[in-house]
Each structure stands twice: as structure tokens, then as C-alpha cells.
């Protein structure tokens, strides 16, 4: 077709967008009115498809084998994934039930599901898709294949707190730092597919050997409990697929095409799961991995950028497509980002560009100390918002570590500016509240094994670890819950009366509460729910447990939280503060709490300044960003000063990627600040600007601000006065 257009231009035919640069792919057909077209079908008449650029279009339509989409920050990767799925279903190449898309957060999975349902001709098809996190897919596989792994159908999934308690018992220590370090090491071993024996053999010192021995006992205890932890949700399916061709092939037939979002964040175990799902004798690997090597910032939790290299080795026919057009930021912001990341060694060359124009200059601000930094940033933010008639939610203050937030919170509160913090702990997530909720969960569902384990061990009720291990193995044989197993005949032969007595005493107590939990209270008294709560708290002696296990101040704070929670429940049982609502039973209260914890965080975003670490900000975007504390020792955070040079170089590269993530969160304006001195412990230390500020090359290329773009404080004040004097529009 001779359009006479340059290869970079776009022509329009019969409501379709035609990219001449795709001609070499042989994409020739005819549009619905007979006009020649370069596409298989006239899908581009759809507005959604018409928004794709040439590279996005290629990524959406490539179906000939494994594909890696290198999606730079703000380049529309989610659009590519969702429209690729819509295309696969709409073209009839795949059924929805045979497509799986994996991501790392429930929020991302939910958003993807919603966007796809809007693209499909039959929105109901979206419900047949497997769109989930890696861990949710792991749960699905394990639930269906439990017998293959000698697990009962209703195996327990222990949360981080439950696992912490287990490691604490095995390590015989109350030192939280030691427990968390061991817990983190075990997690890294599991994610790296390192078994306990290998970990023990490769231990480099006594500390690591001790951790390996605890790891071995930890795995054995989980097995006895008929329980798994978070890491097992991926590790166990991998082990199953490696050992059983039959099971692996069954899931390969079920999930014929796989899409992986944020591929650079995968660890060894996750990559192995992907590989096992798409590879097999006589099977052509069909998958699309979407990621960005420049945004790989999770090495500390086991993610490895090496997976991008390995992908090319394992799949020699891998198609690599680069998305370099950024739809988020101005060119000055992107130039700064490109300049910084250009100092890292490249796995894949790419350079972001934008058609959003040059934009405002990136500002760097040198502050005398952290107090001035907080004060000035908040004042600048406030003035900036006023000048632009913006919203508070248009602004983000980003920093390297959580500890940096406090002083900005103080400054924002002083100016009565609303703010939110990413990663803050919710009330229901506090350990003491979760302890009490575990009893309520068990009362509501006697088959809730994780709740049983937590309730019977917090506080301890004379039930030790060996007793629970025996009970877990017995429940596994009978394929029943731990609670049900307590009353099964034959348990007497496995447990001594001294072990069995406390178990059955605990279950008798829960049964007694459960029988009364479904009855609402007497009119205007709420007698049953309130009385039951009081009876429960008295029986478990939770206050005594807190003061026996924590220092007085911590115990007091935790107990106050518990009282706040139970008083709130009692109030709800009586119909609320005014007692004008319906009375609720303890069971109804439990169901209400369960729903609230599930829905927590789903409210609409408030109009507030967003405070966040750089890690938590990944995937977000804001019109205006203040990147603070950009100093040597903070960003980059260097860790151990005595680490070998090669390790330090790798560390700097990851920190540089973190800086890149911070810069690319900004859409329109970016302010970067650093302090000349900063308090550390009881001394004041001199600080140097981060090497990354110089690497932005703000005085080179198009980034150099013009004289007219540089506002002095006097000029800024004059602008503000002028704004204040403007008459209000009628």
C-alpha cells in the first residue's frame, strides 16, 4: 500500500489507525469497508486500540512465542497487558479460562481485572480469567493438589506474626531483632529454592548454621501443623511441578498463555514457577513478561535482576519489544531520569521520551538542616498549591527511609495540611488486636486452623509445640480441622493425659462461648455480647500475659489498644453510641470485623499530601513531587562501610535505580532537597549532596533553565501578592 507517508507518521483509513512501520511484519488485510489495511483485523476502529503507539501495538499483537516487553516508567505497560488479553479473547485465539496474568499486589490485580472487563465485548469473560498475585495462584494450585503434597484439603496458611512466634519458640529467644533476622534468612532461602540441608552445609559461620538448624525444625513443624507460610505458596507448587509431570502438564493445559507484570521483581522461586508453567517437551512457550530493569529495587527481599538475563538464555527465541514513550512526565524530568540511570550498566538499552513538552526546570534545594528542610518544603508546597490552584493530593513527599517521615509530619500538622502515609500499620493489623480477633475468628469458624493455633498459643494455655505437632499430624490423617481432631477417638493413644487435658479444656471453653455467640443481647442491654467478651478476656488473662512478656510501657499501650477494641465492640453490640441501631450478637460482631479488615484501605483517596518511602511509591504518580534527604549515606544508603568493592558497586546500582524511580514519579514538577548537616544520635554530622544530584546533569542539554524561568524569592512573593489581589470571579 503506497501511502507516501514517512515511516514515523500515522495515516487514518476508515476509522482505523495505520502504522506503515508495521508493514514489514506482513500485517495485510482489509478494513470493513474494503480499504486495504496492514492489520489482521480492523481492531483499531475501537478507541482503546487506537490509543496504542507502534511499539505497544506490536507488543499486544505478538503471539508467535515468548515475549519480553521492556516497559519504561510511565510507558503504558498496564495498557499493553490488558489490551493484549482483550485481543487474545476477541480474536478467538484463546479462551478466557486459559489465560493467566500474574502481578505482585492485590490492588494491581483488581485494577487489571476491572480494566479488562471494560475492554471485552462480553464483560462476563473477565471472570473466567486467572488474574492474581503469584501467591494467590499458588494457593489455588495447593488447594487443588493438596493430596499430592500430603496436605489436607483445608491446610492452614500462617501469617507473618504466627511464623514469628514459631521462630521465637524454636530459637529460644525473645530478642526481636534476632528473630526477624532468622525469619528473613529463612524467607530468602525458601525464595532461592535452598532446602534446610543445603543451607546447613553451605553455612559460613555459627550464626548461619544456627539459622539453618532452626530452618530445618521450622519446616518440620509446619509440616506437622499441616500448615504453610507465605513463601511456601510458591515454593511448594514449584517442587510439585518438578516432581510430577502429570500435575505440571494439567496446569499447562489449563493456563495456556501467561502474562507476568513487574517481571524485574520476581525472585528465583517465582521465575521457576513461570518457567515450569510455560515449558515442556513439544510445548512452545507462550508468555509475555513485562518489566523494567531500571526499576529493579527489591533485591533486599530476594528479587533478582538476573532473571532478565536468564530469560534470554532459557528462551533463545525471545522477542524483545521496548516501550520508550513516556505518557507521564515532561522532558526535563525524563532527561534527569535518563541521565541518572545512564550511569548503571545496561541489560537492555532504552531511553525514555515524552511529547508532554519541555516542562518546568527540576529544582535542587540545599538546606541547612533537616528542620529547615521540612519547614521549607512544606512552605514551598503550600505556596505552590496556592499558585496553581491545585489539590493537596497532587503532591507527594518521597524519602528513602520511614524514619524521615516524622519531621515532615510535624511540619505539615503545624500548617494544618492533611497528609497520608504509605505503609502505616492499621489498627486491626496490630499484634494485640490480631490476638483477640483470632479468638473471635475461631468462635465464628471452628475449622479456622490458623486462628486455632494463634488462640491456643497466645497466651499459652499449657499446650506446647510437640503437642500441636502431634495434633497436626493426626488431623492430616483424618483430613479434618485441628479443632475437630481434638475430639477424635484415637488421639488418646498419641497424647498423654497431661497433653490432652489442656487441649480439650481449651476447646470446651471455645465451644461454650460459641453456643452463646449467635444470640443477640437482651433489649437495650446487649447483655450477651458484652458479657461474653468480658468472660472471654477474663478467661484468657490477656492483660497478665502482656505484662509478663513486655516491658511495662509497651504492655500498657497494648492493653489500652485492646480495651479500645473491646469497648468499641461492646458499643456496637448495643446498637452504637446512641443505642439506636440493631443489637448484634458476638457472631455478628465478628463477621463485621472480618469485613472491615478486608475492606480497609478501599476508601477513595482523600485530598491530602502523600508521604511515602521510595519503595512504597513505585507504581504511583503525582503531578508534583518533593524528593527529600538526597544525601550521601541516605540516598544512596550505603549499609556496611566495610563491604567489598564489588558488593558496594551492586548496592550503588540498586540505590541509583531507586533514585530513578523517585524522579519518574513526577509528572509536572520535581524538587530535590538535601541538608548540609543532620542530627545523628546525639551529634551533628556534616552532609554532602548525593552523587545522584550531579548525575541528573541539570545544567546540560535542554534542562538548563532560562533566566525567565528562575524565580527569586522576591519574585515569588510578588506573584503571590498579585494572586491575592485578583478579584474573585462572579
> Which residues does 587 contact at the CB level (< 8 Å), separation at least 6?
443, 444, 517, 518
Catalytic residue status for 64: no
The rounded Cα 173 to chain-centroid distance in angstroms is: 30
Q: What span, in angstroms and rounded, lies between the C-alpha atoms of 622 and 619?
A: 11
Contact 433, 565 (CB under 8 A): yes
Helix, strand, coil % in the chain, rounded to nearest 5: 55, 15, 35
> Which residues does 58 contact at the CB level (< 8 Å), separation at least 6?
22, 25, 321
Nearest to 394 by CA among 665, 672, 720, 115: 665
Exactly one of 58, 77, 190, 332 is catalytic; which is it? 77
Q: What span, in angstroms and rounded, lies between the C-alpha atoms of 325 and 670?
A: 19
Exactly one of 133, 295, 613, 664 is catalytic; which is it? 295
Q: Please give the full DSSP string across 235-287, using - where no structure is assigned.
A: HHHHHHHHH-HHHHHHHHHH--EEEESSGGG-BHHHHHHHHHHH-BTTB---E
Measured CA distances, 187 to 29, 161, 300, 363 (Å): 52, 14, 11, 41
Contact 663, 687 (CB under 8 A): no
524 burial level (CB within 10 Å; 0-12, 13-18, 19+): exposed
**Could you tell me the three cell numbers for 137?**
495462584
Contact 291, 67 (CB under 8 A): no
Catalytic residue status for 415: no
**Could you tell me the three cell numbers for 482?**
485441628
| Residues facing 461 on adjacent strands | none
Q: What span, in angstroms and rounded, lies between the C-alpha atoms of 14 and 36?
A: 10
Vertex 616 angle, CA 610 and 620, to 5°: 65
- What sign does the CA torsion over 263, 393, 593, 222 have? positive
Contacts 24+ apart (CB under 8 A), 20-27: 21/54, 22/54, 22/57, 22/58, 25/58, 27/61
Exactly one of 78, 113, 312, 597 is catalytic; which is it? 78
Exactly one of 84, 665, 668, 691 is catalytic; which is it? 665
Pairing of strands 287-291, 257-260: parallel
Q: What span, in angstroms and rounded, lies between the C-alpha atoms of 595 and 492?
A: 38
Contact 666, 624 (CB under 8 A): yes
Catalytic residue status for 420: no
| Residues facing 267 on adjacent strands | 303
Measured CA distances, 310 to 268, 270, 350, 682 (Å): 10, 13, 19, 47
Exactly one of 58, 145, 261, 432 is catalytic; which is it? 261
Residue 563 — φ and ψ, nearest 5°? -60, -40
How many other CB atoms are there within 10 angstroms of residue 509's CB atom? 16
Exactly one of 229, 262, 435, 448 is catalytic; which is it? 262
Which DSSP state fits 631? B
| Residues facing 680 on adjacent strands | 683
**Could you tell me the three cell numbers for 567?**
469497648
Catalytic residue status for 447: no
Cell 472471654: give the residue.
536
Catalytic residue status for 295: yes
The 10 Å CB-count burial string (b at 16+, else e) for 34-62 is eeebbbebbbbebeebeebbbbbbbbbbb
Nearest to 275 by CA among 244, 319, 316, 315: 315
Contact 457, 165 (CB under 8 A): yes
Catalytic residue status for 78: yes
**Could you tell me the three cell numbers for 287?**
508468555
**Which residues are designated catalytic?**
77-78, 261-262, 295, 665
Amino acid at each position: 500500500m503506497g501511502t507516501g507517508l514517512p515511516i514515523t507518521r500515522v495515516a487514518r483509513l476508515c476509522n482505523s489507525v495505520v502504522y506503515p512501520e508495521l508493514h514489514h511484519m506482513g500485517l495485510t488485510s482489509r478494513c470493513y469497508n474494503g480499504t486495504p489495511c496492514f492489520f489482521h483485523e480492523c481492531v483499531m476502529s475501537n478507541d482503546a486500540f487506537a490509543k496504542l503507539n507502534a511499539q505497544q501495538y506490536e507488543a499486544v499483537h505478538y503471539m508467535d512465542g515468548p515475549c519480553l516487553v521492556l516497559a519504561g516508567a510511565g510507558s503504558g505497560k498496564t495498557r499493553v497487558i490488558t489490551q493484549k488479553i482483550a485481543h487474545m479473547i476477541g480474536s478467538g485465539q484463546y479462551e478466557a479460562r486459559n489465560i493467566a496474568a500474574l502481578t505482585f499486589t492485590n490492588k494491581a490485580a483488581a485494577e487489571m481485572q476491572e480494566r479488562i472487563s471494560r475492554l471485552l465485548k462480553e464483560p462476563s469473560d473477565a471472570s473466567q480469567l486467572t488474574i492474581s498475585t503469584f501467591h494467590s495462584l499458588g494457593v489455588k494450585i495447593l488447594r487443588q493438589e493438596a493430596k499430592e503434597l500430603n496436605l489436607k484439603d483445608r491446610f492452614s496458611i500462617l501469617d507473618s506474626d504466627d511464623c514469628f512466634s514459631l521462630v521465637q519458640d524454636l530459637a529460644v529467644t525473645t530478642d526481636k531483632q534476632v528473630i526477624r533476622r532468622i525469619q528473613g534468612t529463612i524467607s530468602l532461602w525458601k525464595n532461592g529454592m535452598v532446602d534446610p540441608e543445603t543451607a546447613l552445609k553451605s553455612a559460613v559461620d555459627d550464626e548461619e548454621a544456627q539459622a539453618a538448624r532452626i530452618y530445618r525444625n521450622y519446616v518440620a513443624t509446619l509440616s506437622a501443623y499441616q500448615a504453610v507460610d507465605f513463601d511456601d505458596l510458591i515454593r511448594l507448587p514449584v517442587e510439585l511441578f518438578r516432581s510430577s509431570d502429570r500435575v505440571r502438564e494439567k496446569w499447562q493445559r489449563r493456563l495456556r498463555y501467561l502474562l507476568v507484570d513487574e517481571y524485574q521483581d520476581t525472585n528465583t522461586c517465582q521465575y521457576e514457577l513461570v518457567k515450569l508453567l510455560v515449558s515442556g517437551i513439544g510445548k512452545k512457550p507462550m508468555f509475555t513478561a513485562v518489566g523494567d530493569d531500571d526499576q529493579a529495587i527489591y533485591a533486599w527481599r530476594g528479587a533478582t535482576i538476573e532473571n532478565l538475563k536468564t530469560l534470554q538464555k532459557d528462551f533463545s527465541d525471545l522477542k524483545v519489544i521496548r516501550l520508550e514513550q513516556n505518557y507521564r512526565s515532561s522532558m526535563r524530568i525524563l532527561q534527569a531520569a535518563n541521565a541518572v540511570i545512564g550511569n548503571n550498566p545496561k541489560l537492555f538499552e532504552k531511553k525514555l521520551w515524552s511529547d508532554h513538552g519541555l516542562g518546568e526546570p527540576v529544582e535542587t534545594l540545599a538546606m541547612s538542616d533537616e528542620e529547615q528542610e521540612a519547614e521549607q518544603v512544606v512552605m514551598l508546597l503550600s505556596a505552590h498549591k496556592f499558585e496553581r490552584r491545585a489539590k493537596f493530593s497532587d503532591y507527594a513527599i518521597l524519602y528513602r527511609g520511614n524514619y524521615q517521615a516524622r519531621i515532615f509530619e510535624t511540619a505539615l500538622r503545624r500548617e494544618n495540611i492533611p497528609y497520608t502515609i504509605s505503609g502505616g500499620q492499621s489498627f486491626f493489623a496490630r499484634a494485640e488486636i490480631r490476638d483477640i480477633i483470632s479468638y473471635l475468628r475461631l468462635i465464628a469458624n471452628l475449622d479456622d486452623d490458623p486462628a486455632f493455633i494463634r488462640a491456643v498459643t497466645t497466651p499459652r494455655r499449657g499446650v506446647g509445640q510437640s503437642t500441636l505437632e502431634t495434633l497436626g499430624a493426626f488431623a492430616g490423617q483424618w483430613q479434618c480441622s485441628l479443632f475437630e481432631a481434638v475430639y477424635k477417638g484415637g488421639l488418646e493413644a498419641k497424647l498423654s493425659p497431661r497433653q490432652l487435658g489442656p487441649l480439650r479444656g481449651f476447646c470446651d471453653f471455645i465451644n461454650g462461648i460459641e453456643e452463646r455467640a449467635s444470640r443477640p443481647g437482651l433489649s437495650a442491654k446487649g447483655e450477651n455480647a458484652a458479657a461474653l467478651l468480658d468472660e472471654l478476656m477474663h478467661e484468657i488473662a490477656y492483660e497478665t500475659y502482656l505484662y509478663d512478656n513486655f516491658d511495662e510501657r509497651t504492655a500498657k499501650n497494648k492493653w489500652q489498644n485492646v480495651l479500645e477494641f473491646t469497648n468499641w465492640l461492646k458499643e456496637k453490640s448495643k446498637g452504637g453510641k446512641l443505642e439506636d441501631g440493631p443489637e448484634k450478637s458476638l457472631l455478628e460482631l465478628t463477621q463485621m470485623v472480618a469485613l472491615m479488615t478486608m475492606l480497609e484501605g478501599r476508601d477513595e483517596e482523600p485530598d491530602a499530601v502523600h508521604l511515602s518511602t521510595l519503595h512504597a511509591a513505585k507504581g504511583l504518580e503525582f503531578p508534583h513531587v518533593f524528593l527529600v534527604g538526597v544525601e550521601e549515606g541516605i540516598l544512596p544508603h550505603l549499609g556496611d562501610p566495610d563491604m567489598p568493592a564489588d558488593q558496594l558497586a551492586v548496592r550503588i546500582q540498586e540505590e541509583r535505580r531507586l533514585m530513578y524511580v523517585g524522579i519518574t514519579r513526577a509528572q509536572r514538577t520535581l524538587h530535590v532537597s538535601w541538608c548540609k548537616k543532620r542530627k545523628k544520635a546525639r551529634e551533628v554530622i556534616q552532609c554532602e549532596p548525593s552523587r545522584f544530584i550531579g548525575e541528573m546533569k541539570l545544567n546540560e542539554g535542554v534542562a538548563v533553565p532560562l533566566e525567565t524561568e528562575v524565580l527569586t524569592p522576591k519574585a515569588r512573593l510578588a506573584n503571590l501578592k498579585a494572586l491575592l489581589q485578583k478579584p474573585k470571579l462572579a
